[in-house]
Amino acid sequence: MRQSIRFLRRGRVVEIGGLDARTTLLDYLRLIERSVGTKEGCAEGDCGACTVVLGRLRGDRLSYEPVNACILLLGQLDGAEMVTIEDLASPEGLHVVQEAMVARHGSQCGFCTPGIVMSLFALYHGDRPVSRDHVNDALAGNLCRCTGYRPIVEAALEACTTPPQDAFIARRATTEAALAALDDGEDVLAEEGDGFFAAPASEAAIAELYEAHPDATLVAGCTDVGLRLTKDLARLDQTIWLGRVQGLDSIDEGPEALSLGATVSHLHARRALAALDPDLGELMRRFGGVQVRAAGTVGGNLANGSPIGDLAPALIALGTTLELRNGERIRSLALEDFFLAYRKQDRAPGEFIRRVVVRKPIAGAAFRCFKVSKRLDEDISAVMGAFHVALEGRRIASARIAYGGMAGVPKRASAAEAAIACASLDEPASWQAALEALSRDFTPLADQRASAAYRALVAQNLLFKALTEIASGGTHETRIGAWREMPDAAE
Ligand SMILES: Cc1cc2nc3c(=O)[nH]c(=O)nc-3n(C[C@H](O)[C@H](O)[C@H](O)COP(=O)(O)OP(=O)(O)OC[C@H]3O[C@@H](n4cnc5c(N)ncnc54)[C@H](O)[C@@H]3O)c2cc1C
Ligand code: FES
Ligand code: FES
């Protein structure tokens, strides 16, 4: 058992014991390390001013991913290399990304600039080719209020389209060896007073620790829990971070299902989900910004029980099951049965999600899912609709239809499902009963995102749109962009 966390910083191992579990990475940087180049804007993961980059071994390859330091716990650095804005320039000059930002006039007041440069640094170290779409996507989690994005995008295209060649590439082998040496397979328990930050290394170790401390807070990516710290000033004295658990971040594909470990990040889930259906890929691309996708996990998204979480409706429509573990006991539960009431899930004290088993779309069926939000990128849904329609020729044999944002939980539209069975794709009039049935399935609420009437209308329109697309076999008439044909982004 290790009683400290360890991470790599500027080529050296930093070891911290006696850890206050609530310390965010941003507080550590600004108040303890005094690296104040990383800024605090919103303190809720939206503006990207606090973006830093973490290097981690993915398999045996070093991968650089941007994260929001304001909603990441310091303890989550364990086993990673941390790169901040102070580390990019060398005595010989600025980093190529910084050079391009200067040359293209990509900064005015400069407040957003460190975060933008760090997002571009991660893009610079990512896959090639890099297109304008990829640049826009990489910057969706960074707000700039004064420069305007044109010069920033031009700087990115100038810097990030050629093969990466910088000091980080030159010392890559050394960094990889240092990170491999940090991966000691030990459970971590860093205590301070009555509190602790624990990072178990195995599933059995979490099961034992969580059973003994069922009031502790589980943390996966911390993109939700982090807001409890920064906005609610919650006292989370005992935290169990799942990010070191071996195997909990694996993706296993079988002939009928995709099994995602609970800590698979949205960034890594995207490719596998996109392979099941392009709409799932686009849903994941629109999930937060890259920083949120790099930290946030599939298990955390379902466990938080949000009625407007994006994954739940899509996965319910596909017929997903959860594997939950409590001590030695493992049980399977249909995802739709996990959500009992607003923010109340079927999860006993000491129980956690270990895997999310996504059934692949059935042969001969059509799948569609749509997210409706005020902004296209980096926004939470007002309504999310998912439709899995089994066909017999031009007749609808059955359908699984699920919505988010329409009730206190993500929920199936059972009245609409019953009403659409036997309808014909060639007769839109036969869809009417299902559209009307939605008003029996849901009594939506009004809030800042949308009025109840808007939600009810959008839910009908999404079902109509899905059936129209499935009937025509195309998407162009119904979409602003032809997203189902867009190539995979370089993430
Ligand atoms: C700026 C921003 C943008 C966002 N955009 C979106 C969006 O577009 N769509 C969307 O759906 N959400 C969005 N979110 C919400 C959030 O990012 C997601 O819900 C994310 O998937 C949460 O995962 P996490 O790993 O960070 O969870 P955490 O914050 O670590 O945990 C969330 C909750 O789940 C519990 N938990 C975590 N893992 C487990 C487990 N394995 N078993 C049991 N309990 C567990 C935790 O105790 C906690 O209660 C956004 C958040 C932010 C800050
Ligand atoms: S300060 Fe805005 S995302 Fe962190
Ligand atoms: S340069 Fe001022 S906010 Fe971007």
Question: Are residues 467 and 374 both part of a single domain?
Answer: yes
CA of 488 to the centre of ligand 2 (A): 27
**Would you state the pLDDT for residue 376?**
86
Look at residue 57 and tell me if it is in a domain.
yes
Which residues contact ligand 1 via a Cβ below 6 A? 44-46, 217-225, 242, 262, 287-288, 292, 295-297, 299-301, 303-304, 309-310, 352-353, 380
State the closest ligand 2 atom to the C-alpha of 50, by its place in the atom list counted from 1: 4
**Whether residue 355 sits in one domain with residue 300:** yes
Residue 483 forms part of a structural domain: no
Pocket of ligand 3 (CB under 6 A): 107-113, 144-147
Instruction: Tell me the ligand closest to 289's alpha carbon.
Output: 1
Ligand 2 mean position to 9 CA, how many Å? 21
Looking up residue 178, the CATH number of its domain turns out to be 3.10.20.30
Residue 491 lies in a domain: no
pLDDT for position 482: 52
Has residue 487 been placed in a domain?
A: no
Residue 391 inside a domain? The answer is yes
pLDDT of residue 486: 44
Can you give the CATH number for the domain in which 334 is found?
Answer: 3.30.465.10
| Domain's final residue, options 359, 392, 422 | 359
Q: How remote is the CA of residue 415 from the centroid of ligand 1, in Å? A: 30
CA of 293 to the centre of ligand 1 (A): 10
Residues sharing a CB contact under 8 Å with residue 459, sequence separation 6 or more, in sequence order:
383, 385, 403, 406, 413, 438, 442, 444
- Cα(223) to centroid of ligand 1, in Å? 5
Q: What's the pLDDT score for residue 481?
A: 61
Nearest atom, ligand 2, residue 47 CA? 2
**Same domain, yes or no: 350 and 373:** no
User: Residue with the nearest Cα to atom 47 of ligand 1?
Assistant: 218
Q: Using the atom order of ligand 2, give the atom closest to the CA of residue 42.
A: 2
Each residue's pLDDT tens digit in the chain (491 positions)? 999 999 999 999 999 998 888 999 999 999 999 999 999 999 999 999 999 999 999 988 999 999 999 999 999 999 999 999 999 999 999 999 999 999 999 999 999 999 999 999 999 999 999 999 999 999 999 999 999 999 999 999 999 999 999 999 999 999 999 999 999 999 999 998 889 999 999 999 999 999 999 999 999 999 999 999 999 999 889 999 999 999 999 999 999 999 999 999 999 999 999 999 999 999 999 999 999 999 999 999 999 999 999 999 999 999 999 999 999 999 999 999 999 999 999 999 999 999 999 999 988 899 999 999 998 888 889 999 999 999 999 999 999 999 999 999 999 999 999 999 999 999 999 999 999 999 999 999 999 899 999 999 999 999 999 999 999 887 666 777 655 544 444 44
Nearest ligand, CA 52: 2
Residues 198 and 277 grouped into a single domain? no
* Ligand 3 atom 2, closest CA: 109
Ligand closest in space to the Cα of 373: 1
Residue among 439, 427, 284, 279 at smallest CA distance from 365: 279
What distance in angstroms lies between residue 411's CA and the mean position of ligand 2's atoms?
A: 32
CA 352–ligand 1 middle distance (angstroms): 14
Q: What is the pLDDT of residue 483?
A: 52
Token pair 């329609």 in the structure block, residue: 389
| Whether 234 and 322 share a structural domain | no
> Which of 27, 47, 53, 227 best tests ligand 2's pocket when mutated (most atoms within 8 Å of CB)?
47
Spatial CA neighbour of 155 closest among 124, 111, 125:
124
Ligand having the closest approach to the CA of 47: 2
Q: Evaluate whether residue 484 is within a structural domain.
A: no
440: domain CATH number is 3.30.390.50
Alpha carbon of 342 to ligand 1 centroid (Å)? 16
Which pLDDT value is given to residue 121?
98
What pLDDT sits at residue 18?
Answer: 85
* Rounded-to-integer distance, Cα 168 and Cα 353, Å: 36
Pairing type for strands 188-192 and 329-334 reads: unpaired
Nearest-CA residue for atom 3 of ligand 2: 45
Distance (Å, whole) CA 264 – CA 184: 21
Q: Does the CB atom of residue 227 touch ligand 2 within 6 A?
A: no
pTM of the model as a whole: 0.95
320 and 452, same structural domain? no
Q: Both 255 and 314 in a single domain?
A: yes
Same domain, 294 and 266: yes
Tell me, in angstroms, the distance from the centre of ligand 3 to residue 206's CA.
43
User: Are residue 122 and residue 176 in the same domain, yes or no?
Assistant: no
Please indicate, yes or no, whether residues 236 and 339 belong to a single structural domain of this protein. no
Q: Which atom of ligand 2 is nearest to the CA of 46?
A: 3
Q: Which of 200, 216, 241 is the last residue of a domain?
A: 241
Asked if the structure places residue 321 within a domain, the reply is: yes
Q: Do 337 and 293 reside in the same domain of the chain?
A: yes
CA of 231 to the centre of ligand 3 (A): 24
Residues 81 and 175 in one domain: yes
User: What is the number of domains present in the chain?
Assistant: 4
Indicate the burial class of 220 (C-beta count within 10 angstroms; 0-12, 13-18, 19 or more): buried
Do residues 312 and 335 lie in contact, with contact meaning Cβ atoms separated by under 8 Å?
yes
Is residue 440, in this structure, part of any structural domain at all? yes
Q: Of the residues 241, 276, 294, which one is the last residue of a structural domain? A: 241
For the CA of 261, the nearest ligand: 1
Domain that holds residue 395: 365-472
Question: Quick one: pLDDT at residue 489?
Answer: 43
Distance (angstroms) between ligand 1 centre and the Cα of 232 equals: 16
Q: What atom in ligand 1 is closest to the CA of residue 224?
A: 29
Which ligand has an atom closest to residue 147 CA? 3
- Sign of the Cα torsion 99, 101, 107, 110 reads negative
Q: Domain holding 148: CATH number?
A: 1.10.150.120
